[in-house]
């Protein structure tokens, strides 16, 4: 099972995958015949490539979707000997079973994690991950139906059960208040002897506060411009262009604006951005105000911040250090929403701050009530265990 070296994590191409001519989908039994086509694709790979191109502006979404597309294409052609455009509902029942127990080369630990011969699975997918994978694939199929490429979506027949119907659990990928405070304190111990070290310190210090203070996604932070910060009725706001080009406004605190002013002053810019500016909110590694950091660079800087913070904890807090080593950019977004909820911020406001389409999504950040329930339950158990009760 050999894959091209640039799938599925490569940021350079949307999809590069060669399939046998007999399995390229040109004659798939589920291909739409007649009617007006919205795309010119004649093969399954070409059609999937167009679908993925819709997410070119969202690197993390693109990587996730590409991974699921490659998995399905490879499984269908190699296991069933069928193109994607010939898969039936029965085939997808088999695929769901396969996701629960992938075997052989699919999970071979001897295969590398990257490159043409990489393994596509680390092991069985949980019920939640299987539901997410099939949801992504169903979105692909629905797109191809709407495009006039496929006649129907076999997964539209799937009955919603289990993880699909249960309420979303509380989010776990966030930093509690103590760990967040430690992260902020740890940055102040970074070396700042050389000009390069000082520059890296100032950039990292500002970036970590920006991501937490606004709840931005990594691509949003990478593309933010200084004039996106603006005042209205004496309050600072940040204009954000998010997923799918959706626009939003995020409140900005006076403390965060002070951090922004400090970062700008370090680079010789006026503390307050002007509307006519073209400077980036977070400048390139070389400190060029007219060049943005890439999303990958944002991710790596944040990972370094967490790694250094974890190293400072050492053996004094093994669990905390392990949490920090697992943390990434999106944990800051989760932390921002969780801490806002802990502070009693109205859930509707958090929804707008995070730009969630559904308030149910925002509800996963409500931890304080669970903490109180746990504390009172445990206290009751302790009280009843005392002599004389």
Does residue 114 sit in the same domain as residue 58?
A: yes
Helices then strands, each counted (H, E), the chain: 14, 3
Does residue 277 sit in the same domain as residue 220?
A: yes
Cβ neighbours for 88, distance < 8 A, ≥ 6 positions apart: 30, 154
Does the residue 377 lie in any domain?
no
Domain count, the chain: 2
Does residue 206 sit in the same domain as residue 350?
A: yes
Classified as helix, coil or strand, 67 is: helix
* Cα–Cα distance, 172 to 168 (Å, whole number): 12
Q: Give Dmax (Cα) for the chain.
A: 83
Instruction: Assign 376 a pLDDT band (cuts: 50, 70, 90).
Output: low
Does the residue 304 lie in any domain?
yes
Residue indicated by tokens 């399954």 = 44
Instruction: Assign 76 a pLDDT band (cuts: 50, 70, 90).
Output: very high
Does residue 136 sit in the same domain as residue 278?
A: no
* Cα–Cα distance, 291 to 145 (Å, whole number): 40
pLDDT at 378: 54
Does the residue 242 lie in any domain?
yes
Does the residue 368 lie in any domain?
yes
Tokens of 248: 């939003």
Instruction: Assign 359 a pLDDT band (cuts: 50, 70, 90).
Output: low
Tokens of 128: 């939640």
* Cα–Cα distance, 47 to 146 (Å, whole number): 12
Task: Indicate which CATH number applies to the domain containing 292.
Answer: 1.10.443.10
Does residue 291 sit in the same domain as residue 353?
A: yes
pLDDT at 383: 53
Does the residue 65 lie in any domain?
yes
Expressed as residue numbers, the domain containing 94 is 21-164
Does residue 203 sit in the same domain as residue 139?
A: no
pLDDT at 159: 65
pLDDT at 63: 84
Within 13 Å of residue 112, how many CA atoms lie on the same side as its CB? 8
Does the residue 320 lie in any domain?
yes
pLDDT tens digits for 273-316? Answer: 988 888 999 988 777 778 888 889 999 999 999 999 999 997 77
Does residue 122 sit in the same domain as residue 204?
A: no
- Cβ 144 vs Cβ 154: under 8 Å: no
Does residue 112 sit in the same domain as residue 226?
A: no
- Cβ 31 vs Cβ 90: under 8 Å: no
Domain boundary among 164, 189, 214: 164
Does residue 344 sit in the same domain as residue 228?
A: yes
pLDDT tens digits for 85-125? Answer: 999 999 999 999 999 988 777 777 776 665 555 667 878 88
Does the residue 107 lie in any domain?
yes
Cβ neighbours for 82, distance < 8 A, ≥ 6 positions apart: 23, 76, 91
Interior CA angle at 345 toward 361 and 369, to 5°? 70
- Cβ 151 vs Cβ 30: under 8 Å: yes
Does residue 138 sit in the same domain as residue 246?
A: no
Does residue 143 sit in the same domain as residue 243?
A: no
Mean pLDDT of 176-183: 92
Does the residue 233 lie in any domain?
yes
**Is the pLDDT reported for residue 343 higher than 60?**
yes
């Amino acid at each position: 099972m050999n894959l091209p070296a640039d799938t599925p994590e490569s940021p350079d191409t949307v999809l590069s995958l060669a399939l046998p001519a007999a399995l390229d989908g040109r004659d798939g039994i589920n291909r739409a015949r007649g009617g007006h086509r919205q795309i010119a694709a004649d093969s399954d790979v070409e059609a999937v490539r167009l679908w993925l191109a819709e997410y070119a502006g969202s690197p993390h979404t693109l990587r996730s979707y590409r991974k699921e597309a490659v998995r399905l294409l490879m499984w269908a052609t190699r296991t069933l000997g069928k193109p994607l455009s010939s898969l039936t509902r029965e085939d997808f029942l088999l695929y769901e079973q396969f996701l629960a127990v992938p075997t052989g080369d699919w999970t071979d630990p001897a295969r590398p994690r990257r490159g043409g011969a990489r393994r596509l699975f680390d092991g069985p997918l949980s019920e939640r991950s299987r539901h997410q994978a099939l949801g992504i694939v169903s979105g692909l199929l629905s797109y191809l139906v709407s495009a006039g490429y496929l006649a129907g979506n076999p997964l539209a027949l799937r009955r919603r059960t289990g993880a699909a119907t249960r309420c979303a659990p509380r989010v776990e990928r966030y930093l509690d208040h103590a760990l967040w405070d430690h992260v902020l304190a740890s940055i102040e111990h970074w070396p700042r002897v050389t000009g390069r070290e000082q520059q890296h310190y100032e950039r990292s210090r500002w970036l970590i506060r920006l991501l937490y203070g606004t709840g931005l996604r990594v691509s949003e932070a990478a593309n933010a411009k200084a004039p996106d910060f603006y005042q209205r009725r004496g309050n600072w706001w940040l204009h954000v262009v998010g997923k799918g080009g959706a626009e939003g406004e995020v409140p900005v605190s006076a403390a965060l604006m002070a951090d922004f002013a400090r970062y700008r002053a370090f680079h010789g810019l006026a503390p307050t951005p002007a509307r006519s500016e073209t400077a980036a909110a977070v400048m390139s590694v070389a400190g060029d105000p007219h060049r943005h950091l890439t999303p990958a660079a944002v991710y790596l800087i944040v990972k370094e911040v967490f790694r250094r913070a974890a190293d400072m904890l050492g053996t004094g807090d093994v669990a905390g250090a392990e949490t920090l080593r697992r943390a990434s950019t999106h944990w800051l977004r989760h932390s921002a929403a969780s801490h806002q909820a802990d502070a009693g911020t109205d859930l509707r406001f958090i929804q707008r701050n995070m730009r969630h389409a559904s308030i149910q999504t925002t509800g996963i950040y409500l931890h304080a009530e669970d903490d109180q329930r746990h504390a009172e339950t445990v206290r009751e158990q302790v009280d009843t265990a005392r002599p004389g009760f």
